[in-house]
Amino acid sequence: MKKISFLLFCVVFSLSFSLAQEADKVCLNKGTYISVKFLDPVNSKTCNIPRAVIAGDVYDEWGEHLLIKAGTVVDIQLNCRRGTLVGDVGRIEVVAISTKAVDGRLIQFDSEPAIFNGNEALLVSRSQVKLKEGTTFQAKTLNNYCFRRVTE
């Protein structure tokens, strides 16, 4: 009987300890969409790679703890297609790769591209895609990211 009581005590203690550890964590869940904005204009004809940053502060799922600051640099990949005389429409595909959390941890994004298409037009210049500075797109987090809860 003493062995069973001791085992029961150990199980209850380990469960309460793990629950206390979980309470000390805040998370950014897999699949969370985060707004990213361009700091420079981009054009499908020249395919210049713009600087990109997090558009607004990103908080945990309860909106209490800051996890990623607005203005944090985002690494991106850009693929462009020019508009042509034979009717091909310009296109820009942007893939957010990663950014940094407030604690310096690398946050990776899903490889799903944000796609910007030009308009069909008789003039090639009008079929190009031109994105202005401040244009935003959504990037989706690749994994769950948990952080230690910071209490004041």
Instruction: Determine the residue type at 144.
Output: N
Whole-number pLDDT of residue 13? 44
Of 74, 31, 32, 13, nearest to 49 by C-alpha is: 74
Of 52, 37, 130, nearest to 91 by C-alpha is: 130
Whole-number pLDDT of residue 35? 96
Whole-number pLDDT of residue 71? 97
Of 17, 28, 20, nearest to 103 by C-alpha is: 28
Please give the C-alpha separations between residue 13 and each of 5, 22, 91, in angstroms, as whole numbers: 12, 14, 58
> By the 8 A CB rule, do 117 and 84 touch?
no
pLDDT in tens, 85-126: 566 778 899 999 999 999 999 999 998 999 988 765 544 455
Whole-number pLDDT of residue 104? 93
Q: How far apart are the first and last CA of the chain?
A: 45
Kindly give the parts of the chain with pLDDT less than 70.
1-23, 84-87, 119-127, 150-152
Whole-number pLDDT of residue 63? 86
pTM of the model: 0.76
Q: Cα 82 to the chain's mean position, in Å?
A: 27
